[in-house]
Amino acid sequence: MSGLRIEGLTVRFGRGRRAMAAVDGVSLTVPPGRIVSLVGESGSGKSTLARAIVGLVPPTAGQVLLDDEDITSDTARRRRIQMVFQDPYASLNPRMTVGASLDEALQAQARTGACLTREQRGQETGRLLDLVALSSEHAGMLPGRLSGGQRQRVALARALAVRPDVIIADEITSALDVSVQGAVLNLVRDIQARFGTSMLFISHNLEVVRYVSDVIAVMYLGRIVEAAPTEELLSRPRHPYTRALLAAVPRLGRSWREIDTPSGDLDAPDPHHPPRGCRFHPRCPVGPRVNASRSVCLALDPQLDAARRLHRAACHFADDLAAAGGLMAMGPTRDAPGIAEERDGPSNGGHASLAAVAATDKETATKEQR
């Protein structure tokens, strides 16, 4: 098992006054054999960070380390990190069958290791399809004949073909039906448990993150503002942005008027010109907009001494929020969205949960073909 570590990673776009730091000095660790989830609203820099890790976007500064070895500029060794994208149809060649896509990945792996014969690659393709709960007949299909959930499983199988040490999953369930989301999430947990693969799981859905992750990191305007073990962060959040995200999770029996949303500007600030001091202060429900005595937020960046606070919270008043108590916005259970009745998850026979939604998956594929 291998661990991924990111040190001070920065990604800048543009020049001069219109330059923008989409990722600003991010440091994050994915321990060996663990799933670390990255959450935040759209535009916070999550996908840019993922692309910088795998080398699709050149970093301006910082390091990407795998097993404590710098691979920032080592293209060959970065193949040990594979990425599964949000839109599987866009990431799969529409003119290549599923089997051909997997065979291409296997040939790429062969260039860095032992060469496989055509027969061996065929056997490996069948093994990969079985691993993601697809039958061998899918090998001859084009992506257009598959449902969204099936395409995402193919994309995951292609990533596994090169036997990666780390997988980055970027919003892989956001475009799927709720029932199919549950199947894919159970598959992710099953694969991680079986192979001990480290994973960076990116999502804006806290229910999804809660189900799969060991650690959650919260990202806002290009920076990590809080990180902690899953249950600890969900029950005792230290940063007001994290609390706002948790409070916005829909719950039965609660009116929208009860949701503790950010005060002030509802939209995030212009990333070309981030606010001075705390970047969240224009929207903070406990900051200087509602409490004038907290003017320190306007001038001093809380990121500078975040390391000394619990959860590494980038908030000057994180300890005060902790004293006020957590939100307990999400209950103690960790059921996959859409299949909450299956308490045992992937441990119940590996693909049992996948079989539970197979009919839905097949029906979805039929509708899309029409």
pLDDT reading at 231 higher than 90: yes
The two tokens of residue 134 are 């697809």
Cα 138 from Cα 123, distance rounded (Å): 14
Contact in structure between 225 and 191 (CB atoms under 8 Å): no
- What are residue 36's DSSP bridge partners? 200, 215
The two tokens of residue 84 are 């599964």
Give the pLDDT of residue 319. 83
Give the pLDDT of residue 337. 57
Cα 295 from Cα 268, distance rounded (Å): 20
Arithmetic mean of pLDDT, 75-104 = 91
Give the pLDDT of residue 344. 37
Confidence of residue 321 (pLDDT cuts 50, 70, 90): confident
Contact in structure between 60 and 45 (CB atoms under 8 Å): no
Question: In Å, how far are 50, 115, 239 from 46, measured between CA atoms?
Answer: 6, 36, 18
Share of the chain above pLDDT 90, in %: 52
* 186 CB-side CA count, 13 A: 31
Q: Please provide the average confidence, as pLDDT, over all residues in the chain.
A: 83
DSSP 114: P
Measured in whole angstroms, how far is the alpha carbon of residue 177 from the centre of its chain? 18
Confidence of residue 346 (pLDDT cuts 50, 70, 90): very low
Cα 141 from Cα 101, distance rounded (Å): 11
pLDDT reading at 63 higher than 70: yes
Arithmetic mean of pLDDT, 69-87 = 89
Give the pLDDT of residue 327. 46
Cα 211 from Cα 110, distance rounded (Å): 35
**Dihedral of alpha carbons 247, 252, 255, 258, sign:** negative
Instruction: List helix spans (H) across the chain.
Output: 46-54, 88-91, 98-110, 118-131, 148-160, 178-195, 206-212, 230-235, 240-247, 296-299, 318-324, 352-356, 358-369
Arithmetic mean of pLDDT, 43-49 = 94
Give the pLDDT of residue 79. 84
Angle 180-181-183 (CA atoms, 0-180°, nearest 5)?
65
More confident residue, 115 or 313: 313
The SS3 call for residue 95 is coil
Confidence of residue 206 (pLDDT cuts 50, 70, 90): confident
Give the pLDDT of residue 73. 86
Please return the burial class of 60, using the count of CB atoms within 10 Å of its CB with bins 0-12, 13-18 and 19+: middle
Confidence of residue 154 (pLDDT cuts 50, 70, 90): very high
Please return the burial class of 296, using the count of CB atoms within 10 Å of its CB with bins 0-12, 13-18 and 19+: middle
Give the pLDDT of residue 78. 85
Give the pLDDT of residue 17. 79
Please return the burial class of 307, using the count of CB atoms within 10 Å of its CB with bins 0-12, 13-18 and 19+: exposed
What pTM was estimated for this model as a whole?
0.84
